[in-house]
Amino acid sequence: SSMTMSSRLRIEVIEVPAYMLPDEGAKAIDLAADTNMAVLGLNHIALDVSAAASRLGGLPGYLRELNRESEVVFQKSVRLVRSPYQQLIGPEVWEVCFIADPDGASIELLAHNGTLTSPVADDW
């Protein structure tokens, strides 16, 4: 395989308070629905693919290579749930996208794009 794992790993753990769930015992919100992208409690795992993405021209290049390898190894294309977009996490600029595994579980892929040198206003 031409892609290698980064020595950095980022895992996000989010606890959703019971009062935020629609029904008692309900699961986290379906990430595949566009209307739910900005809602707390999306059920997913996040992987930092910065090292590999930087060698492949960013997250779009990483996705092309991931899809190519998936088609060769599994004869299946990667299911893209949300195309790459930029997101600020504190002063850090990330490229973010979501894919789904064969069972439909959401996987967030993150690639670090840089760090802001000027502070960002809280209400930005």
As a whole number of angstroms, the distance between CA 90 and CA 86 comes to 13
- Encode pLDDT of 27-66 as tens digits: 555 555 656 555 555 567 889 999 999 999 999 999 999 9
Please provide the average confidence, as pLDDT, over all residues in the chain. 77
Buried b vs exposed e over 39-74: b needs ≥16 C-beta within 10 Å?
Answer: eebbebebbbbbbbbbebeebeebbebbbeeeeeee
Lowest mean pLDDT among 20-24, 74-78, 113-117, 119-123: 20-24
**20: Cβ contacts below 8 Å, ≥ 6 apart:** 40, 41
In this model, does residue 4 exceed pLDDT 50? no
- Encode pLDDT of 8-28 as tens digits: 555 555 556 666 666 665 555
- pLDDT value at position 35? 60
**Three-state SS for 49?**
coil
- pLDDT value at position 63? 95
Tokens 């930029």 correspond to 86
Exposure on the CB side of residue 81, measured as CA atoms within 13 A: 23
Tokens 């980064």 correspond to 6
